[in-house]
Structure 1
């Protein structure tokens, strides 16, 4: 009976922890770099120039700020839920 319960619980635990593996990934996938490239090229910036490098750095900074904001909002929501357990 104990083995059966263990075999039943392990897949659910594995599935729930599987979501944690992707939590720290940013919202941008490998396609995001292509998007940055196309964005900078659409603004008539030649690849390899100093303006192109600055454009890519600006896009990186914007992405990092968006990730930090999303992380901060998630943390604030968790803190609110911990401090107000009676509110849904």
Structure 2
């Protein structure tokens, strides 16, 4: 997985990240967006435009936000 969306995105859903993603890897969930790890090309376009600084490279996700790594994976397992 290249990038992960974390808690600041909850209930935000501004969608700038969706608009700039060149491979349509970002999908809306009930209360936030998720990045498909199998589609993401690690371009970082989404990270640069996030108005709430919720997007991190997986290896840079803050420790207190690490649960979002597994939540992201789980989201795409459930919709498959």
Work out which structure has the larger RCO, using CA pairs closer than 8 Å and 6 or more positions apart in sequence. 2
Between structures 1 and 2, the one with greater helix share: 1
> Rg bigger for which structure?
1
Between structures 1 and 2, the one with greater strand share: 2
